[in-house]
């Protein structure tokens, strides 16, 4: 196996696996929410308007920033520290290897650019086509240099910023809110992007619901995909517990753990819950209405507990999300009442957490 394959398996594969929730949502937009005619209309609009092209480039910039951030983080993670030896390769080799790696990571953007370019040629907007391609080449190249620079430098531990000090000093919070505080201090970007993406998806789903004769299952699937955008938050919450306040070391009973975890998850999904509460159509039956409100909180509890019951490395987490999504879409499509689904998820979650807690305390 050559160095490129090691890099692809360590960085590219891990990137796609870790962000599988995001890509599932993109697929949901592309194949569930949007029709073929809407795709063509959108691509034509982008291909013929400078402002829409610039907006697309802005979205791709966010994607590249996310990709660079992911690689930075990976290179500073224990198991991937050996990749820092890439800095000892010749500069040309480093550049070529990283260029290919980032090209594969950027492939979704390249693929969409190719789709839009078809309409660029149809409408003879060659300038916009050139702008788009130049941007993608420049973004790819810039990302390579950013990572080469990072490889050259030693790892910097995040220092306590003013924001961190302010929050830590001002707010002494009850245990269920510790993670929320941690999220705001250490992962504000993750929180912001997850919540923005999730709320955008919910609004698109609820908007679509009004436009035709859909039933509550569309809202259920939309809520599920909106949850997927937040799936990294759940993993982050799990890591927070493992690294900082290992659940088992706290002298708490199983009901106490369940309660505090549910509170944390409820606060984590408060924006989505409030959105659903204020936008739910009255035509939806109570059993599903209540089910939709609790769905994300209970689902996150289930997922969180499953991580304790059967721990999984971040790079394989996406697989678990994928299978869970497939299973739940199947369940929703069969019109299973959501409140009952929630009850089953909660029961399994509680069992998994209780089982883990029992095993760990027995081992001590």
Contacts with other proteins by CB under 8 A lie at 1-3, 5-6, 9-10, 14, 78-89, 152-157, 159-160, 313, 315
CB of 81 to other proteins, least distance (A): 7
Rounded-to-integer distance, Cα 98 and Cα 194, Å: 27
Q: Which two tokens stand for residue 66?
A: 């996310």
Rounded-to-integer distance, Cα 62 and Cα 226, Å: 19
CB of 77 to other proteins, least distance (A): 9
Counting beta carbons within 10 angstroms of the beta carbon of residue 29, is it exposed (0 to 12), middle (13 to 18) or buried (19 or more)?
A: middle
Neighbours of 253 (CB within 10 A): 10
CB of 283 to other proteins, least distance (A): 48
CB of 207 to other proteins, least distance (A): 41
Rounded-to-integer distance, Cα 321 and Cα 338, Å: 19
Residue at token pair 């590219």 = 12
Between 5 and 169, CB nearer to other proteins: 5
Between 81 and 333, CB nearer to other proteins: 81
Between 72 and 118, CB nearer to other proteins: 72
Between 78 and 251, CB nearer to other proteins: 78
Between 156 and 170, CB nearer to other proteins: 156
CB of 254 to other proteins, least distance (A): 31
Of 235, 243, 241, 233, nearest to 260 by C-alpha is 241
Q: What is the DSSP letter of 105?
A: H
Between 154 and 174, CB nearer to other proteins: 154
- Dihedral angle at the C-alpha atoms of 157, 162, 163, 168, nearest 10 degrees? 90
Between 80 and 184, CB nearer to other proteins: 80
CB of 173 to other proteins, least distance (A): 20
Of 336, 339, 342, nearest to 298 by C-alpha is 342
CB of 66 to other proteins, least distance (A): 21
Rounded-to-integer distance, Cα 191 and Cα 24, Å: 19
Helix axes 231-243, 314-333, angle to 10 degrees: 130
């Amino acid at each position: 196996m050559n160095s490129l394959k090691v890099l692809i398996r360590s960085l590219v594969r891990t990137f796609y696996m870790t962000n599988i929730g995001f890509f599932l949502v993109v697929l949901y937009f592309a194949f569930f929410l949007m029709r073929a005619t809407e795709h063509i209309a959108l691509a034509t609009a982008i291909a013929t308007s400078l402002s829409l092209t610039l907006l697309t480039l802005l979205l791709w910039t966010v994607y590249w920033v996310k990709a660079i951030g992911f690689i930075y983080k990976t290179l500073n993670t224990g198991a991937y520290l050996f990749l820092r030896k890439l800095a000892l390769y010749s500069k040309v080799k480093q550049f070529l290897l990283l260029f290919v790696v980032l090209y594969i990571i950027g492939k979704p953007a390249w693929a969409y650019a190719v789709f839009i370019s078809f309409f660029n040629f149809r409408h003879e907007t060659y300038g916009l086509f050139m702008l788009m391609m130049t941007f993608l080449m420049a973004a790819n190249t810039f990302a390579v240099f950013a990572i080469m620079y990072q490889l050259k430098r030693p790892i910097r531990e995040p220092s306590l910023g003013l924001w961190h000090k302010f929050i830590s000093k001002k707010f002494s919070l009850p245990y269920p809110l510790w993670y929320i505080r941690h999220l705001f201090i250490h992962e504000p970007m993750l929180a912001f992007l997850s919540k923005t993406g999730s709320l955008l998806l919910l609004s698109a789903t609820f908007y679509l619901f009004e436009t035709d004769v859909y039933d509550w299952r569309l809202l259920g699937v939309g809520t599920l995909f909106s949850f997927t955008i937040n799936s990294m938050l759940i993993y982050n919450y799990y890591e927070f517990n493992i690294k900082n306040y290992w659940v088992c070391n706290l002298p708490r009973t199983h009901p106490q753990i369940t309660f505090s975890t549910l509170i944390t998850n409820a606060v984590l999904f408060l924006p989505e819950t409030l959105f659903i509460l204020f936008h739910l159509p009255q035509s939806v039956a109570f059993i599903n209405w209540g089910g939709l409100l609790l769905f994300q909180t209970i689902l996150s509890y289930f997922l969180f507990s499953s991580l304790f019951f059967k721990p999984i490395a971040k790079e394989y987490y996406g697989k678990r999300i994928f299978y869970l999504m497939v299973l739940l879409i199947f369940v929703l499509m069969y019109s299973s009442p959501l409140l009952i689904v929630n009850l089953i998820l909660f029961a399994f979650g509680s069992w998994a957490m209780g089982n883990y807690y029992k095993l760990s305390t027995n081992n001590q």
